[in-house]
Amino acid sequence: MDRVSIVRCTDYSASNLRDALITSFDYFGGIEHFICPGEKVLLKPNLIASSKGDNATTDARFIEAVVKIVKEHEAFPFVGDSPAFGSAKGVAKAVGVMQTLERQKVEVVEFKRNIRFTNHVSVSNSINDFDKIINLPKLKAHGQVRFTGATKNLFGFTKGKVKAWRHFIVRNDLEKFCLMLLKIHQIVRPPFTLVDAVDIMERTGPRGGKTRHFGYVFAGINCISIDTVMGMCLGIDKKDTPLLCTAEKLGFSSGQLDQIEIKGETIDAVRLSDFKYPQDLSDISFTLKGVIRSLFRHLYLLSIEKRR
């Protein structure tokens, strides 16, 4: 059976985060079960863009708490992502993560060129530069896939505007897009995932939604199982979740609760009855004009960052 933990974390205070994260690791045998002293560990948060005031990115305090735990285990943490717009360092600075990492003397990694695994899946070669990867997604509503969590955060391993191009070539075939995400999960297979669900984002997404306090950390090894449990906790029917429907249909996961062992809090104890998520999904595909506009915006932000 897959295992998913749900651990209460009332706020982003250092002590509460540490307790929640250590407890999450302990449900799976402790951090030593995943990381060895001396290893290079890539922490992959959600740094989608220089977004402020909407909780679209993994909280800097959450990232710092994981950094400290990794360092205590005598491993070497790095932080990396490929934002939709701008650079990882630029976004990290804009959302307050860079200041935290400078204090901890942790490097922000700009992902290198993509490697093509199939015609529809490209992943940055940077995944080969590290001994282990810890996935640090943000739980939030999403206008194209209902909500986003553990699995979709791995799309950030596709570098640069290739992500926009992937949106373009699926031609609004949502199942094809979700299949790509599932194949990226198969390639990257992060040993462990810790989901920032202390404050979440509802109504819309992946940016611009309303902040809502939730107060939990979700964790596990199988991202699809984590997403299955989180969807239930948000009160979203699996049939309304394109990624989970595709995973079950194509044999990536059954999505059945009786095949997932829940540790910590129960789903019934944390389930939200009034989480606001997009009822009508927007088009998953981008127009060619949209791709070109996105590329120029990305290059413009990069040029601004270099002048600072």
pLDDT along the chain (308 residues), means of 10: 95 98 98 97 92 85 98 98 86 92 96 79 92 98 94 90 57 85 94 98 92 97 97 94 94 83 97 93 64 52 56
**What CATH number is given to the structural domain containing 200?**
3.40.50
Residue 297 has a pLDDT of 56
Residue 300 has a pLDDT of 45
Residue 280 has a pLDDT of 87
H or E element at residue 298:
helix 288-307
Tokens encoding 187 = 């390639």
Q: Are 201 and 212 in contact (CB under 8 A)?
A: yes
Give the integer Cα–Cα distance in Å for 83 and 79: 13
Residue 305 has a pLDDT of 56
In sequence order, what are the residues at sequence separation of 6 or more whose Cβ sits closer than 8 angstroms to the Cβ of residue 267? 6, 229, 232, 233, 257
- How many domains is the chain built from? 1
Give the integer Cα–Cα distance in Å for 204 and 271: 19
Q: Are 260 and 186 in contact (CB under 8 A)?
A: no
Residue 284 has a pLDDT of 72
Give the integer Cα–Cα distance in Å for 85 and 296: 10
Q: Which is nearest to 195 in space by CA: 173, 177, 221, 171?
A: 221
Owning domain of residue 53: 2-307
Give the integer Cα–Cα distance in Å for 150 and 154: 7
In sequence order, what are the residues at sequence separation of 6 or more whose Cβ sits closer than 8 angstroms to the Cβ of residue 148? 137, 138, 139, 140, 141, 142, 205, 206
In sequence order, what are the residues at sequence separation of 6 or more whose Cβ sits closer than 8 angstroms to the Cβ of residue 104? 64, 67, 68, 71, 77
- Model's pTM, two decimal places? 0.90
